[in-house]
Structure 1
């Protein structure tokens, strides 16, 4: 089936001047005084089945029915707005009443468009084709008035056709009045119903009709269709801009054509993607990926700054959340189906970043982000301030990025209990000093607690943590720990780091550290990001070595509250003061002449 639009000089299906001289004049040469402008949605309305896009099943069924003469008495067309329900009804009316250019033809799949009936139907002036709006004529009296003319034969056409749009708006009494005629209509009468709310139509009516569900048109099909129309109109438009319009149309051809019409007027010369994005109030796709990466990395400050940039650029905060949901869904698809990242319809930047995020983010993290964004979107819609609600949503998502998944937390809790029924493990750092000796039970069988730094299963200093990652085959994480972080605090079961903002850290760096440490040591680890200055790896190593000195270890045991820290050498051993200059003063002075 062809999907190209008719040439620019093809008359619109419902244009009042479809056959006049102006209709045969190219659009570029028409003056405003000759013919009023016709919007693209009406100008390029399909006139036959070959011009319908995205409805292959419907076209095949109706074409076979018309070719074989197996015509039903009533058709029910349903689907979302703008997918071609009314257009299909008019095409059926033309196909059933076309008589060909010579006036001798019968029902055909390809109406000629030049015979008397085709022209009259295209111009909405055929007396035997009654197009009604059920939204304005809902009562039983209106329906009886319509049905009174069913018994009369058509004036000139082959069939008298009733096209009732938005049929679900009819009242119950109107539906009941229609039932008998709909079940056994005269041979010269056909009913075509169109509705967007098929569930509101009584089953007694549906059982008397052949139902066709018109599907949403895929974005790729819409983009190709819009490209042909833009070329016919002589308008230049980027492929990315067409993709944005097709995505915003959400499967509706009419919505997409309205947006395309607006974009052609909005852009000067070639319509660019930035102009379409500004027109639609969308955020930059690359910027949305940056925001998503900041959220998954727990960088709250950067995420709020990026949201503020989107808002200043004119993006709706709710649309930003919807874009984040799209990114989450895309990354999840790439993670589960890697071949989906090879789709040529997706921009190269999105495919590349989707692969990178899919490799670093786990399924529990993506599922949790989806649920939080979806729940937060509904909350933001009802909030007094949409921007504030979205900011709080981003803060929750960023904080949750560092939390363990439910499976990891449950496993860590089970491992921390040891035997069944035993209480959970005690504090992360065992007590030491006189207090520990006083609290120890007076039994000879109880072994003394081992120092944290000598526990082979749970590292107690930063060097041991780095060594554990190197020994377990995680050289990249170990390299990041050596180069891109500053240590704030380290104890068995707890790690607090200050991350370098310019370092190329993965977005899930902290969650991966926590998961690996919890799995390897068999206990729940808390890995947090700190805003304190912290120590570089060399300083942390020096402190760890200093704690191993017997004298310093004895002092720390004797004074539990004491802390060990590094100070610059200049502050510990300040330079000697410069010698003061001795000044000689003449102490011989006359007291009588002294002035005070």
Structure 2
């Protein structure tokens, strides 16, 4: 006798043998027992969840020799024929291979005939969504009002492709995916009856790999039995599926918990020996962290879908909640950036090392466990103060120096011109141009040092400057280095410190005009070239005004319209007309353009006109100039309207708003 695969051998033959789908079975059982039968049923769901199986059981319930009920006998000739797939009144149609409308019509031609043996003629159409639109149209009327001896059972994995007219004529039942717990429970029963040794971890691997399909789970179990030589072992199933050892994921999380960088890298090395999908490994870690977070919030809600509920609960006790959330978020970002890494393994390692390096601290203290040493020399630091690093930023708050008795005010100038840094032993005076300056004043004992008044801050109170005392003339260095506001703050602090130590006061002298001679050597800024628009021509009068009116009626466009718009009518002597064309448009003018303008004039005037166009600067306004003038007037009117708006004026006063004239566009239809 030939071998029969588990998926066919263990196919349910009654509702009692069905695994899962309780919500569907309850409705069908009640309908069969109460004889409230619909003429068309539609079963939807993913592959291997029992759509065709339920349809065959319904056909058995309807035609069993013992009567219509939800519990067919299973021993009569009709039940056996249905189980063996040779019952003549059960017509199974594969819609994927019979999509044409001719096939559907041939099928429906036999609907009117009574069943041969059973009570009902049952049409089981599998993958019904593959039918063509014409086939659906041919099926509609029969599906809605079939003969009383006909039942339609439709099955599909993609109900979205079914027309709404089909859906409205059927009772629809959506079958759910099989959870791993239900799959493992059923496989345990099957392998026990088949007397096949197995490991529970192997069944959990098969249950997860089935992805909700019981048929896939049975097929994978067949393959695992063959792979393991009659046994279903976890190691064999893992090698067959090429899946990751789930225990290694917990090894990675344990290394993170202990702050063990060496153990973390070692765990990655063991993972690399299996050649895993690193994005999948990261997804497994995120899945475990998700279940750990659920265990911390509600321990009773943790499922045993992967057979590791106890390990999840133990990890939830060891990991703080903030660490779990941080690791999860870091893993999500790392999974997104993994394709950008030089290679997947290095990207995976960097995600784990980032989790380790930035793990949350407790109440501002260092992490709970110190990171284990890796044998890498720690970076050394220079104990000498860094003057650049010591300079506070312009946004930092100035520290208040200690009080100094009888300390005269010291003024530090902050300028935009460069200054040269001189040795400490040389007393220098910075020569600055007469530019806007900002001063920081060191006040006497009773007041702290005032903050630097930056140009973008509110104006500070006016402070009386000390009297400038001239000093002996001596060579002064030219300023070269730029002093930022932050450097000015440092200078003010240094001056205050020197006053505290009793350092001699520095004298200042006013610079004469010769000190600014170097500014004459600076390159001049390039002048902005502004196109000067020629003044408009004189207002159009007489013939020129008539041409403005005629141009709008000519209906010219394109290049010809541009030529006519830059002309002005100068003379009319009977049928002889003279136009002056702006010479700037002469490159575009030719005999063809003149002929088109002449034809348009002939059509407008209703007679033949001899048109002469000469290149001469029109003295009066042309249609193009008139249009430009009107656009300018509309623009000026729009800008005036914006400037006069009370709301905009309020915004200018309160928020220093600036009106950009180039962004103002007049609305079409506004009169000039």
* Shorter-chain TM band: 0.5 to 0.7
Residue by residue over 1:131-164, the C-alpha shift from the partner in whole angstroms, topping out at 9 and shown as x without a partner, is 1111111121211111111111111111111111
Q: Which residue of 2 aligns with 1:563?
A: none
2: CA distance, partners of 1:423 / 1:140: 80
Q: 2:293 aligns with which of 332, 353, 356?
A: 332
1:98 to 2:64 alignment: yes
- Shift of the 369–189 alpha-carbon distance from structure 1 to 2, 3 Å rule, reads farther
Deviation of the 1:271 alpha carbon: 2.9
Q: Which residue of 1 aligns with 2:213?
A: 252
Q: 1:388 aligns with which of 333, 343, 349?
A: 343
Which secondary structure state, in structure 2, belongs to the residue aligned with residue 138 of structure 1? coil
Residue by residue over 1:270-303, the C-alpha shift from the partner in whole angstroms, topping out at 9 and shown as x without a partner, is 5332222222212222211222455688877755
Q: Is the 8 A contact 2:64 2:78 kept in 1?
A: yes
- Shift of the 179–298 alpha-carbon distance from structure 1 to 2, 3 Å rule, reads farther
- Shift of the 313–345 alpha-carbon distance from structure 1 to 2, 3 Å rule, reads closer
1:71 to 2:29 alignment: no
Q: Which residue of 2 aligns with 1:222?
A: 183
Residues 412-427 of structure 1 correspond to what in structure 2 (within 5 A)?
425=396
1:86 to 2:52 alignment: yes
Q: Which residue of 1 aligns with 2:326?
A: 365
Q: Is the 8 A contact 1:217 1:253 kept in 2?
A: yes
- Shift of the 252–152 alpha-carbon distance from structure 1 to 2, 3 Å rule, reads same
2: CA distance, partners of 1:276 / 1:427: 68
- Shift of the 404–346 alpha-carbon distance from structure 1 to 2, 3 Å rule, reads closer
Q: 2:84 aligns with which of 120, 123, 137?
A: 123
Residues 267-416 of structure 1 correspond to what in structure 2 (within 5 A)?
267-268=228-229, 270-294=231-255, 303=264, 305-341=266-302, 346-347=307-308, 350-356=311-317, 358-362=319-323, 364-369=325-330, 371-372=332-333, 375=336, 380=339, 388-389=343-344, 391-396=346-351, 398-399=353-354, 402=357
Deviation of the 1:341 alpha carbon: 4.9
- Shift of the 342–318 alpha-carbon distance from structure 1 to 2, 3 Å rule, reads closer
Residue by residue over 1:405-440, the C-alpha shift from the partner in whole angstroms, topping out at 9 and shown as x without a partner, is 9xx9xxxxxxxxxxxxx9854799x9xxx99xx999
TM-score of the aligned structures, taking structure 2 as reference length: 0.52
Q: Is the 8 A contact 1:325 1:374 kept in 2?
A: no
Higher relative contact order (Cα pairs below 8 Å, separated by 6+ residues) = 1
Q: Which residue of 2 aligns with 1:234?
A: 195
2: CA distance, partners of 1:163 / 1:95: 14
Q: 1:48 aligns with which of 14, 25, 33?
A: 14
Q: 1:446 aligns with which of 422, 445, 448?
A: 448
1: CA distance, partners of 2:398 / 2:252: 37
Q: Which residue of 2 aligns with 1:185?
A: 146
Q: Which residue of 1 aligns with 2:511?
A: none
Q: Is the 8 A contact 1:332 1:366 kept in 2?
A: no
Q: Which residue of 2 aligns with 1:150?
A: 111
- Shift of the 335–153 alpha-carbon distance from structure 1 to 2, 3 Å rule, reads same
1:58 to 2:29 alignment: no
Q: Is the 8 A contact 1:175 1:205 kept in 2?
A: yes
2: CA distance, partners of 1:292 / 1:130: 56
2: CA distance, partners of 1:116 / 1:319: 51
- Shift of the 198–292 alpha-carbon distance from structure 1 to 2, 3 Å rule, reads farther
Q: Which residue of 2 aligns with 1:167?
A: 128
Query: Structure 1 residues 298-307 or 149-158, which shifts more?
Result: 298-307
TM-score of the aligned structures, taking structure 1 as reference length: 0.58
Q: Is the 8 A contact 1:331 1:357 kept in 2?
A: no
1: CA distance, partners of 2:263 / 2:450: 48
Q: Which residue of 2 aligns with 1:197?
A: 158
Deviation of the 1:58 alpha carbon: 1.0
Deviation of the 1:226 alpha carbon: 0.5
Deviation of the 1:128 alpha carbon: 1.3
Deviation of the 1:71 alpha carbon: 0.7
Residue by residue over 1:167-189, the C-alpha shift from the partner in whole angstroms, topping out at 9 and shown as x without a partner, is 11111111111111110011111
Deviation of the 1:314 alpha carbon: 4.6
Query: Structure 1 residues 267-276 or 320-329, which shifts more?
Result: 267-276
- Shift of the 364–94 alpha-carbon distance from structure 1 to 2, 3 Å rule, reads same
Which secondary structure state, in structure 1, belongs to the residue aligned with residue 320 of structure 2? helix
2: CA distance, partners of 1:424 / 1:398: 34
Query: Structure 1 residues 261-270 or 143-152, which shifts more?
Result: 261-270
- Shift of the 323–400 alpha-carbon distance from structure 1 to 2, 3 Å rule, reads closer
Q: Is the 8 A contact 2:291 2:312 kept in 1?
A: no
- Shift of the 351–363 alpha-carbon distance from structure 1 to 2, 3 Å rule, reads closer
- Shift of the 343–39 alpha-carbon distance from structure 1 to 2, 3 Å rule, reads closer
2: CA distance, partners of 1:283 / 1:401: 22
Deviation of the 1:88 alpha carbon: 0.8
Deviation of the 1:389 alpha carbon: 3.1
Which secondary structure state, in structure 1, belongs to the residue aligned with residue 343 of structure 2? helix
Deviation of the 1:306 alpha carbon: 2.9
Q: Is the 8 A contact 1:282 1:320 kept in 2?
A: no
2: CA distance, partners of 1:330 / 1:426: 47
Q: Which residue of 2 aligns with 1:508?
A: none
2: CA distance, partners of 1:300 / 1:200: 53
Q: Is the 8 A contact 1:282 1:319 kept in 2?
A: no
Q: Which residue of 1 aligns with 2:94?
A: 133
Unaligned runs of at least 5 residues, structure 2: 364-392, 402-422, 429-438, 452-500, 502-672
Q: Which has the larger radius of gyration?
A: 2
2: CA distance, partners of 1:265 / 1:298: 43
- Shift of the 395–424 alpha-carbon distance from structure 1 to 2, 3 Å rule, reads farther
- Shift of the 64–80 alpha-carbon distance from structure 1 to 2, 3 Å rule, reads same
Deviation of the 1:89 alpha carbon: 0.8
Deviation of the 1:358 alpha carbon: 4.3
Q: Is the 8 A contact 1:49 1:59 kept in 2?
A: yes
- Shift of the 389–347 alpha-carbon distance from structure 1 to 2, 3 Å rule, reads closer
Q: Which residue of 2 aligns with 1:243?
A: 204
Deviation of the 1:205 alpha carbon: 0.6
2: CA distance, partners of 1:331 / 1:42: 39
Q: Which residue of 1 aligns with 2:591?
A: none
Q: Which residue of 1 aligns with 2:616?
A: none
Query: What RMSD, in angstroms, separates the aligned Cα atoms of the two structures?
Result: 3.6
1: CA distance, partners of 2:162 / 2:305: 41
- Shift of the 43–423 alpha-carbon distance from structure 1 to 2, 3 Å rule, reads farther
